[in-house]
A and B are shown apart, each in its own frame.
Chain A
Amino acid sequence: MILFDKFELENGLKVIFHKDKTTPIVAVNILYNVGAKDEAPDKTGFAHLFEHLMFGGSKHIPVYDEPLERVGGENNAFTTNDITNYYLTLPKQNIETAFWLESDRMNELAFSLKSLEVQRKVVINEFKQSYLNQPYGDVWLLLRPLAYKVHPYQWNTIGKDISHIKDAKIKDVKSFFKQFYCPNNAIMVVGGNIELDDVKNLSEKWFGNIKKGDFVHPTLTPEPLQTEHRTLTVKRKVPFDAIYKVYHMCGRSEPNFHATNLITDVLSNGNSSRLFVRLVKEKKLFSSIDAYHFEHLEKGLLCISGKLVKGVQMNEAENAIQEEIEKMKNETVGENELEKVKNKIEAENAFSEINILHKAMNLAYSELLGDAALINQENEKYRNVKAEDIKRISNKILKDSNCSTLYYLSKK
């Protein structure tokens, strides 16, 4: 049970405070409700590039990291298709530095040309390192646009193409900031061994005079219903063939989400999971296989992917996956198996409560979903999932007409 207090400043900044007496560290997590899906289709990669620029100095503070390091703090950030999340931890006696830093860069960035030039290069390096220079690295650059024809989830956070990052101009970056980086589009969580009054006072002192932004979240065109199986075959310089199958699924806040998550757990969470036992151990068709999903706010993707054992034919491998899918659709998950996946979730949740930063992040995300209190309702929601729900949703989404398949073949 994670207890917390919540309040909102006049400018719309939501602040959540979780008291934790057991740690000398304070965690501060600021979630901005902007991600790759909010980008223009010809200017992709901006939310992520922007995340880098947030460290290039704000109006009154030339460098972000240095003052934080000076107080024994550490920080990082990440961007997804939905959000940009900044987080830091520091000794509690220096908590005010966190408020000073975060409020100044929420207020106004320095926008130096040098910063843009350097971070452009850094991001291009990241693009190359993560997506182009790794075996199987470009899978999602291929698969997203296959699954999404209309919705902005069709491009990755790194961007559709390196050229978008190369061509990014300072004025585009400034208008992106103005549109999305405002207090009424942010959720701040503070966790640690301090008092609510401290947090209220510091929030008002540092964030109080930041102006509310007057933007409206763009309404995104929903992805039209997919009506037939889509496939793409590519040949790459990789040692083994691989297959990736993605299926459209519900959004994070929809009632079917928890059951959908359990589908992936039944399929591949652990060494007693179905795909591992049957396709890796018994049939020896795959050297590795996984079922997972992208927990998108809007309708996401459930994925099944694996690397084929050398010499195995693609159609045999795919048929084996299909066989497991049919079992999910035609048979009801047994009581023991259902209990197992629920117990795993319970253990995972318990372990996530050890660390103050994890708690802060989860509180921020829960608030984004509508209410920070959701964080304490997860176990119950999973416990309430019935075997029939899993079967029903399997039938709904695990069908060819809802599927895009990438055949990633080894160029011999």
Chain B
Amino acid sequence: MLDRKKQPVVKEIDSIDFILPEKSKLDNGIQVFSIPADDQEVSVIKFAFSAGSWYQPIPLVAWFTSKMLREGTKELTSLQIAELIEFYGADLELLCQPDNSDITLYSLNKHLEKLFPVVEDMVKHPAFPEKELSVLLQNNKQNLIIQREKVKYVARETFNKLMFGTTHPYSNYINIEDYENITPAVLSTFHKSFYTADNCKIIVAGKTDKTLFCLLNKHFGQNDWKAEKIIVPHPEQFKMSDVLKHRIEKTDAVQSAIRIGKPMFNPTHPDYIGFKVLNTIFGGYFGSRLMQNIREDKGYTYGIGSNVETYLHAAYFYIATEVGVNDREKTLDEIYLEINRLKTETVPEDELQLVKNYKMGSLLRSMDGPFAMAEQYCFMLEYGLDENYFDRCVDVIKNISADEITRLAQKYLDADSMIEVIVG
């Protein structure tokens, strides 16, 4: 007789296969990390440069340098570049982040060889044409103005300002006047300093055979794009604002965005993995304390969550949500209630086990296949984590105790020291 009440046997995830990439070096010393994907017809090739906003002399430089790489080289116009890449159905993603700036090629394997020359040209000889730059500046400015109409965006902007101050690169705060300072010369200097062979790592998933290695070596492995060492002045340690609570009213808003948080640590810290487990319990999955209380029980929001945002030189913990304007205060009360619960009550064993299983499942999904694994490896590379990192993750997840969760909560979830931003 079928017993629909009883869940089928729950089997644990014993282990996760994490394939380490093959390592090689181009002639000029660039490290290449490759994970084969023999069954697939596509490849993903990422050129990672330490050229994010951390390194920029003034705001917006890193981002615009990255985006302008496709806007023209000495040989090719913006349109020619686009036509060449798009003719082969490929996608060239330019992503500038706080620490890294990545150039990622997504392509069918059969077309890779034809794409390398144009990618090489873009990386080594961008021209930063004035005409294209002015269009990009104007449209980006316009987009920023639109984004600032969104309560969620303003909350994040304000929060970053309070966390880092307005001049620190991680705050990424943009004044409209900053656009005036972006010229081809400024971008070109940044490019020459940071888009260089000694600043580059290559991560590949897909058709990682000798042919590909030869192509990489031919186009990126020579000595024509090294640079002098640039001394980057380190920004001061960021000073968090003394004013922790900040309210911005937006007339006609029917929803308010809430953002609460404080400085935290990045994956290099010994408590990071344990804290991430705590974060999952608190606000990191659908069954979390925050979601179950504020959405599923009270219905105040469509979604609420927490996470740790990490960079090489800083990190912060945050809680974010959008709620009806009339439910703001009640939501805040519940958030602080949940923080307090984690500090004063031991997490029940059943719940802890559920979160452990959930996180193992998450980890399994994030390692599913060569492309996913390559992404995880990029993360490890970025923070200089050793190759046992994911084994350690599994170990902590499986073995962390409820007492340890309480200890982490008491040590790191100090509600009084948190920034609190409400917009709308």
Interface CB pairs A-B, < 8 A, 27 = A24-B16, A25-B365, A61-B5, A65-B286, A69-B361, A70-B358, A74-B365, A96-B8, A97-B7, A97-B10, A104-B4, A118-B297, A118-B299, A122-B296, A128-B324, A133-B253, A239-B145, A239-B149, A272-B86, A280-B135, A280-B139, A281-B135, A287-B139, A288-B139, A340-B87, A343-B108, A350-B41
0/1 interface trace, chain B 141-163, chain A, CB 8 Å (1 if under):
01101100111000000000000
> What is the CA–CA distance of A272 and B424 in the complex, to the nearest angstrom?
39
- Quick one: CB contact mask for B247-262 with A, threshold 8 Å, 1 for yes? 0000011110000000
Pair A72/B83 contact, Cβ less than 8 Å? no
Whether A100 touches B146, Cβ cut-off 8 Å, given contacts A237-B252, A271-B82, is no
Given the known interface contacts A72-B13, A354-B371, A356-B368, the answer about A100 and B7 at a Cβ–Cβ threshold of 8 Å is yes
- Tally of A-B residue pairs with Cβ under 8 A? 212
* Bound Cα distance A344, B107 (Å): 10
CB contacts (< 8 Å) of A237 on chain B: these are 149, 252
Bound Cα distance A309, B135 (Å) = 10
Q: A69-B358, A70-B354, A287-B139 are in contact. Are A347 and B287 (CB under 8 A)?
A: no
Per DSSP, chain B at the interface is mixed
Indicate if the CB atoms of A135 and B7 lie closer than 8 Å. no
Separation of A103 and B285 alpha carbons in the complex (Å): 24
- A119 pairs with B299, CB closer than 8 A: yes
- Count A interface residues, CB 8 Å: 81
Q: Name the A residues within 8 Å of B7 (CB-CB).
A: 61, 67, 70, 97, 100
Give Cα distance in the complex from A94 to B285, angstroms.
Answer: 19
Contact B13 A91 (CB under 8 A): yes
Contacts of A205 in B (CB 8 A): 2
Partner of A94, one of B11, B132, B138, B365: B11
Contact of A309 among B106, B142, B361 (CB under 8 A): B142
What residues on B are CB-neighbors of A126 within 8 Å?
A: 302
**Chain A: CB-nearest residue to B109:** A350
Known: A310-B142, A343-B87, A347-B106. A122 touches B302 (CB 8 A): yes
Q: Inside 8 A of A50's CB, which chain B residues have their CB?
A: none
Q: Distance (Å) between the CB of B44 and the closest chain A CB?
A: 9
Report the bound CA distance from A309 to B252 in whole Å.
Answer: 25
Residue of A nearest to B107 (CB): A347
A residues near B285, Cβ cutoff 8 Å: 69
Task: Give Cα distance in the complex from A59 to B297, angstroms.
Answer: 20
Q: Contact: B150 with A134, CB < 8 Å?
A: yes
A222 within 8 A of B: no
Interface pair B106/A91, CB less than 8 Å apart: no
- Judge whether B139 and A129 touch: CB under 8 Å: no
**A60 with B89: CB separation less than 8 A:** no
